[in-house]
């Protein structure tokens, strides 16, 4: 989710789901140790609970980054052992770390020694042609011995060569049964399922056997599903109105522009799917992705987009009534 689940996206998603745990995009240890820490770690207090996802493979570097995460107020540190991109592999982290469970255990141990907040691991069920259950079982076993108690399992293999990151999310088959077996073999650990989850019924089925689910791209492209899942799984009494969400995001954009000179485009790009499936969705997306409009306008552009949607919805209702 690099360049997707930034702080603006997470603030938006928190408006839709007060209880979901939010995760940052993956931030590399190098970016924190040698770059602009505030740019990577700043977040709004409303985002809690929020976890920092780290990419790295040097225990000392990860420990130092864990201290930064604690200082900035994060609720969890998540080590990425699932990203298959070649750029990440060149940095010797991501999915290729599954071949080195001892190193991952050392990384987890170093972070847990450095900070009191939980350290979790996100990983795949295998790499390349290694498809045996024993491979992922042994990985989880060794890493859990270092103190990790929560595992987010993307239920596909990661192919380190021959597939793009996008293909790695689609081509290797989903094998949920391996994640179910992990929970059976490690009942004391928290197992969270990731990969291919798009509908409520899938989530319900997974939660019968597991402790949680992690949803990425579906929540991003169809964000209002977060509000529906909030109602289904956390018992929200009412659904948030999309107009109220837009109003809150306009206020947020105004503060961001004033305090941090944040370009409006950095915020509106995350909102494009809010009206997916409804009349006016195309006009809403078109206006909020219009480079010229975004350059000239301020946060009031969000209210203009809302007016477009409402106008088209009225026209839709009138045509339905006439039919």
Q: Are 53 and 26 in contact (CB under 8 A)?
A: yes
Q: Which of 9, 65, 81, 83 is catalytic?
A: 83
Pairing of strands 150-158, 50-55: unpaired
Structure tokens at 47: 């985002």
Q: Are 197 and 215 in contact (CB under 8 A)?
A: yes
Q: In whole angstroms, what is the distance from residue 295 CA to residue 297 CA?
A: 6
Other Cβ atoms within 10 Å of 297 Cβ, number? 14
Q: In whole angstroms, what is the distance from residue 175 CA to residue 89 CA?
A: 24
Question: Does residue 83 have an active-site annotation?
Answer: yes
- Displacement of CA 21 from its chain's centroid (Å): 9
The secondary structure element, H or E, covering residue 226 is helix 224-234
User: Which residues are the active-site residues?
Assistant: 83
């Amino acid at each position: 989710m690099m360049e997707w689940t930034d702080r603006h996206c997470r603030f938006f998603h928190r408006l839709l789901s007060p209880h979901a745990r939010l995760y940052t995009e993956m931030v590399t240890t190098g970016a924190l140790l040698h770059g602009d820490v505030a740019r990577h770690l700043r977040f709004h207090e409303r985002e809690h609970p929020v976890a920092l996802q780290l990419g790295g493979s040097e225990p000392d570097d990860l420990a130092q980054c864990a201290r930064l995460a604690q200082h900035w107020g994060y609720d969890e540190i998540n080590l990425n052992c699932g990203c298959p991109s070649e750029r990440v592999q060149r940095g010797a982290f991501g999915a290729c770390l599954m071949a080195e469970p001892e190193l991952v255990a050392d990384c987890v141990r170093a972070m847990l020694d450095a900070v009191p907040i939980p350290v979790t691991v996100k990983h795949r069920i295998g790499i390349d042609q290694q498809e045996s259950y024993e491979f992922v079982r042994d990985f989880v076993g060794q890493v859990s011995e270092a103190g990790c108690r929560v595992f987010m399992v993307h239920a596909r293999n990661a192919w380190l060569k021959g597939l793009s990151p996008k293909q790695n999310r689609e081509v290797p088959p989903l094998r949920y049964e391996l994640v179910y077996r992990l929970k059976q073999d490690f009942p004391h650990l928290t197992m969270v399922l990731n990969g291919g989850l798009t509908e409520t019924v899938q989530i319900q089925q997974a939660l019968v056997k597991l402790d949680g689910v992690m949803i990425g791209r579906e929540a991003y492209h169809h964000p209002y599903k977060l509000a529906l899942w909030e109602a289904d799984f956390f018992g929200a009494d009412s659904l948030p109105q999309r107009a109220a969400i837009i109003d809150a995001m306009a206020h947020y954009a105004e503060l961001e522009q004033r305090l941090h000179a944040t370009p409006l485009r950095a915020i509106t790009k995350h909102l494009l799917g809010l009206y997916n499936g409804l009349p006016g969705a195309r006009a809403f997306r078109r206006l909020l992705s219009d480079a010229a409009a975004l350059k000239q306008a301020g946060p009031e552009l969000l209210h203009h987009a809302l007016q477009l949607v409402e106008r088209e919805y009225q026209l839709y209702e009138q045509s339905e009534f006439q039919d």
